[in-house]
Amino acid sequence: MAPLIADELKNHISKFTDGKGFIITDHYYRQILAISTRIVLINNGCNYVINNVDDLILNGYLPFLE
């Protein structure tokens, strides 16, 4: 989500999620984590349930930073 429209888009998504699902693809993972009720990472043909940023690192989406 482009930063300029992220807040507006989050408000619209929140209004329409009751009883509906949305698929969002984006590299701004922090914004997606903030508004999502369920996240599934698709990587190399496999699906991974994501609960937090650590799961993104564990499943190879983000680099491990010490």
Helix (H) or strand (E) holding 13, with range, is helix 6-16
pTM of full prediction above 0.75: no
The rounded distance, in Å, linking the Cα atoms of 55 and 66 is: 15
Q: What is the pLDDT of residue 2?
A: 67
Q: What is the pLDDT of residue 17?
A: 78
Q: What is the pLDDT of residue 3?
A: 67
Q: What is the pLDDT of residue 6?
A: 76
> Could you report the per-residue pLDDT of 18-49, keeping only the tens digit for each?
778 888 887 778 888 888 888 999 888 999 99
